[in-house]
Amino acid sequence: MEKHIQLEYFVPHEKEGHYLTLPFQMPENIAEFSLSYHYQKDQVEPIQVENGTFLSSRQINILDLGLVGPNGEQVGASGSDKSAFTLSALEATPGYTPTLLTAGEWQIIVGAYKIAPEGVSVLYDLTFTAKSPLHLRGDIHTHTHASDGVLSASELAVHALRHGLDFLAITDHNQIAKSDQLPRIAGITLIPGVEWTHYQGHANFLGTDQPYDEPFFTNTPEDARSRFVSARERGALIIINHPFGEGCEFQFDLNQLTFDCMEIWNGPMRESNLRAVGLWQSLLASGKKIPAVGGSDYHRDNLFQILGGPCMGVYALSRSREDILSALRAGHSYITFAPQGPQVEISAGDAIMGDSVNWQPGTYLSISAQGLKNGDILRAVTAQDSTDVFQATSDGKVTLEIPIAAPGFMRIEIHRTFLPGIPPLPALISNPIYFDSD
């Protein structure tokens, strides 16, 4: 959805040589902003010459352009060279910095370099493109050569792009990948992060350059807790990693820690992941609302580890790191075994996965699954039951409506036989929709 406005601004001759500003309101939830401006630049005068008319052109007005954001920061300046620019959180016309389009008062810089004696009227055309939900895929648990991986951050980002991923978090052990060290590569959103790695457990802190001031190490549970508190205060998305990881089980008391998500699927599906799914299921059944996430924990390519295996599918309002992290925090996401894995959407009224709605008799869950392979089993999981609701008899997609018998939650799993003779394993696990009782 696009919204256009026009602002007319008159610059009198006396303002020549001054910098002026013209305020405007950036609405909420804008994905992209464009501006163009028009004014009379030249005065054209016909002059009669011997065999015709000569049109003499003389520049009488020169207006410079720039933009100031809501906190007074310069977003860009393009002199009189460009008559338009476009801006989003990830991309911008050269001369402008990719910037979050925060709602509030922004200002157009009106540089009155040269103004005709009669003054000049400038017309600014502003276009606001609203955010709309996007389906994106990304890996939120990866290592570079800054810890025990083998690729640089840039190499990893290019690798992720080639695998069809839209976003990538870099989570080296106790080594923070800060925003200004991350590469900027068109088509992929890089998210700063760190895997806080302790002998008693690992946790990912995403989206913050400085989740804590102290060194990573601590020898008391109280100090460990303070790292989590500080990270939360600074806006990090906190993920409890591989609770049953081989040799790196999470041994701190979860009830004593502030966290946002639980990594129930780390690298290839195996016993430790199935136990993590079981832990998450028991927390959900006890009434907790904890978004599940998965990540490849990629270090290098080998037989069992691929980038994006598994990866997150998220329903985010834009490709900005802030909107991707919000979607993960809200559980607007599912985990799929690979970048080319299946996709699922679930809804109940306006609610999507991760949301809560009030349960009433007659409540249904709508499911749409695509990228299914012949033999795939779609399973609906509640606190009480795990029910196979569909089995694919060919490759394709399906839509279903499942009645919700009682308050609680419902989430979806897709199970697939990956190799003949080996029992089916999860190919996808969605976050639930929660059905609250009044």
Q: Site residues (CB under 5 A) for Zn ion?
A: 195, 202, 241, 297
Cβ at position 295, least distance to Zn ion in Å: 8
Cβ at position 66, least distance to Zn ion in Å: 43
Cβ at position 260, least distance to Zn ion in Å: 17
Q: In angstroms, rounded to a whole number, what is the distance separating the alpha carbons of residues 412 and 88?
A: 34
Q: In angstroms, rounded to a whole number, what is the distance separating the alpha carbons of residues 241 and 202?
A: 5
Q: For residues 295 and 426, which CB has a smaller minimum distance to Zn ion in the complex?
A: 295
Q: For residues 111 and 201, which CB has a smaller minimum distance to Zn ion in the complex?
A: 201
Q: For residues 149 and 432, which CB has a smaller minimum distance to Zn ion in the complex?
A: 149
Cβ at position 194, least distance to Zn ion in Å: 10
As given in the structure block, the two tokens for residue 343 are 């996709």
Q: For residues 93 and 174, which CB has a smaller minimum distance to Zn ion in the complex?
A: 174
Cβ at position 195, least distance to Zn ion in Å: 5
Q: For residues 139 and 355, which CB has a smaller minimum distance to Zn ion in the complex?
A: 139
Q: Are strands 30-38 and 120-130 parallel, antiparallel or unpaired?
A: antiparallel
Q: In angstroms, rounded to a whole number, what is the distance separating the alpha carbons of residues 24 and 384?
A: 54
Q: In angstroms, rounded to a whole number, what is the distance separating the alpha carbons of residues 275 and 242?
A: 10
Q: In angstroms, rounded to a whole number, what is the distance separating the alpha carbons of residues 147 and 171?
A: 9
SS (H, E, C) 250-263: CCCCHHHCCCCEEE
Q: Are 327 and 314 in contact (CB under 8 A)?
A: yes
Cβ at position 300, least distance to Zn ion in Å: 12
Q: For residues 202 and 379, which CB has a smaller minimum distance to Zn ion in the complex?
A: 202
Angstrom CA distances, 293 to 138, 164, 280, 379, stand at 11, 19, 11, 18
Diameter of the chain by CA atoms?
A: 97
Cβ at position 5, least distance to Zn ion in Å: 47
As given in the structure block, the two tokens for residue 384 are 């009480």
Q: For residues 241 and 318, which CB has a smaller minimum distance to Zn ion in the complex?
A: 241
Q: For residues 183-213, b (16+ Cβ closer than 10 Å) or e, as one string?
A: eeeeebbbbbbbbbbbeebbbbbbbbbebbe
Cβ at position 340, least distance to Zn ion in Å: 23
CB-based closest residue to Zn ion:
202
Q: For residues 277 and 316, which CB has a smaller minimum distance to Zn ion in the complex?
A: 277
Q: For residues 34 and 147, which CB has a smaller minimum distance to Zn ion in the complex?
A: 147
49 Cβ contact list (under 8 Å, min separation 6): none
Strands (E) located in 140-192: 167-169, 189-191
Estimate to the nearest angstrom the gap between the alpha carbon of 3 and the chain centroid: 23
